[in-house]
Structure 1
């Protein structure tokens, strides 16, 4: 009897091709569209409806069952509330990581297991490898599309029950398979932006849920006001665009170097190599390890502090309070509190922590993130 797989289908080409591959491999596949968010975009279009229509077209064309499951309450409680709370603290959260941890590989997994599924499947560019009853998370073969950064807080239960059908093929091959099978999503562009916000105006979205007030933009070198910001929640470390202070100073671009939530100040530095933009180490909270057991400290490995960043050699130490201190082998720009630091050993993702505090290159800039 064929193994039963419940596949998360988003209406995109990756999950569509995952359905084709699983069916070709002989699995009994059911596609489920997760309804996590119900709101129209800036053009008044409900993208969830459009995406579900694509799921229906693909499922009908390849002959698998499909339906919708509503996870809006779980999403609000476990992901969106966290997202808002982080912004209220002046941090920049990564809800996609939390969505995977709490919804796709927890709520969705539990739902699938109640349906007696043998496995769940997702259209992520990642791989699972079993060794001695431990389940390891490996980077996808297509390094430019690897999504282990977003999966870095997925544990053993989920990995033991998860299949990533496209993890060992290139994106170009995914498109080829979609075209060969005349899938409705073959030419659909990849989604971008935060998982539930999509491609709408991000600042307008934040203003709808959080109170923001204007404040001063301060040049860290002169300590003088050079502009006005639209609310501290709209700015993140290393940000260059949208500051509204072009033409001031020596002509070099300005970057966000720090934020003071209490005083409602955004600090900026001029020039992309300004030392205030760089740190030499960070403190991480809420560490999570894929194998659900701690490594031996100090841990020599590599880390990413944001998606698409090149791996950076680091040394990781465990502090007495359970937090991690991560020292970089060389200075790193725009490491951001609230984001996720993800650890790797070559192609294996080891786990992650949430960035809490930063150690600047120069102690005189320690005030920048208060």
Structure 2
């Protein structure tokens, strides 16, 4: 059986390839390049990552190739990213990249061009097959679980995908890499959005969208400062506002909303201010991993951002919308981000947060 492994140049995909080779599969490593631009130092991090892929594949003795999806990534992911910021929303490009690039175009490439039977990646997630249905399950290492970012996959994708390290802890993955002399064994995990790299976010975004400074106001309309452009701020943000706490309660200020018409950033004082909390949301573009919702109305848990502990919710399904009521008020739920639903360890799917209802 031939398995194509998406090699990122990191330790996780390196060990995924190693495990499959040890199990006797015919393994082919493919490095996917999604971004062409160099960073401020003139370096293209993709070049360094490909060098790591080459070293790892040489060590475990498998062939390796590269494929360039930079144009597809720009058209399908990056333009969406910019459009959302223009609207004052905060998108999650990693979820879209998995749906449109890694498990669509790259999956097709792995199966049809390379001739693989499966595509494997280094994601921390698990798949099983129960009652004639594929299920996406949380990883063994809940601290590294990446099902949040995989919530837009479906039955078609899961049938052709493997996650070889989903049953391992991160520390075990590192130990395996060290034991087998993989060059990526101690490589730092990548963080943030791939096309921004180590650059400050505001510096990167200003290259593509014109900044329009405006006033920072409180709920009563009192001017508290000047913002550098609404696109640079997200709900619940505390740092980078440039407002001292030396008035009122003396507590820090937090972003509570954006007025796109007036170009005003609205803030409140204190992290427990009621205006920071919402009681429900409305979502669209909902993807059900099973192909359908479990019921028209049901209870489950949800994450409104990665790393957040599960929150109890009640869900009502409409033809093209999803209405979610929170068991407890939630802080800084953000339009443009992704809400992901779970039943225990099973990921049900996810959708885009469109509106929130404040308490």
**Aligned with residue 225 of structure 1, among 223, 230, 241:** 223
Structure 2 residue aligned with 1:253: 252
| Equivalent residue runs for 1:73-152 within 5 Å | 73-114=71-112, 115-152=114-151
CA distance in 2, matches of 1:142, 1:21: 17
Structure 1 residue aligned with 2:313: 314
**Aligned with residue 235 of structure 1, among 219, 233, 236:** 233
Would you say the 8 A contact 1:9–1:34 is kept in 2?
yes
CA distance in 2, matches of 1:57, 1:207: 36
Q: CA deviation at 1:211?
A: 1.4
* Secondary structure of 1:192 counterpart: coil
**Aligned with residue 345 of structure 1, among 330, 343, 346:** 343
Structure 2 residue aligned with 1:40: 38
Q: Superposition RMSD on alpha carbons, in Å?
A: 1.0
Would you say the 8 A contact 1:192–1:199 is kept in 2?
no
Structure 2 residue aligned with 1:194: 193
Structure 2 residue aligned with 1:325: 323
Structure 2 residue aligned with 1:173: 172
Structure 2 residue aligned with 1:9: 7
User: 4+ runs of 1 displaced by more than 6 Å?
Assistant: none
Would you say the 8 A contact 2:3–2:117 is kept in 1?
yes
Q: TM-score, normalised by structure 2?
A: 0.98
CA distance in 2, matches of 1:261, 1:26: 57
Q: CA deviation at 1:299?
A: 1.8
Structure 2 residue aligned with 1:62: 60
* Secondary structure of 2:207 counterpart: helix
Per-residue CA distance 1:39-77 (angstroms, 9 max, x = gap): 112332210101001000100111011111000111011
Would you say the 8 A contact 1:219–1:226 is kept in 2?
yes
Q: CA deviation at 1:139?
A: 0.3
Q: CA deviation at 1:199?
A: 2.6
* Secondary structure of 1:209 counterpart: coil
Is 1:157 matched with 2:153? no
Q: CA deviation at 1:261?
A: 1.1
Q: CA deviation at 1:295?
A: 2.1
Structure 1 residue aligned with 2:293: 294
Would you say the 8 A contact 2:216–2:264 is kept in 1?
yes
Is 1:49 matched with 2:70? no
CA distance in 2, matches of 1:202, 1:248: 28
Structure 1 residue aligned with 2:16: 18
Would you say the 8 A contact 2:245–2:253 is kept in 1?
no
Structure 2 residue aligned with 1:276: 275
Q: CA deviation at 1:322?
A: 1.8
CA distance in 2, matches of 1:209, 1:91: 16
CA distance in 2, matches of 1:226, 1:313: 36
Structure 2 residue aligned with 1:359: 357
CA distance in 2, matches of 1:211, 1:324: 34
**Aligned with residue 28 of structure 1, among 22, 26, 31:** 26
Q: CA deviation at 1:28?
A: 0.6
CA distance in 1, matches of 2:165, 2:187: 17
Q: CA deviation at 1:318?
A: 2.0
What number of residue pairs does the alignment pair up?
Answer: 357
Q: TM-score, normalised by structure 1?
A: 0.95
Structure 2 residue aligned with 1:212: 211
CA distance in 1, matches of 2:200, 2:29: 30
CA distance in 2, matches of 1:330, 1:30: 48
Structure 2 residue aligned with 1:366: none
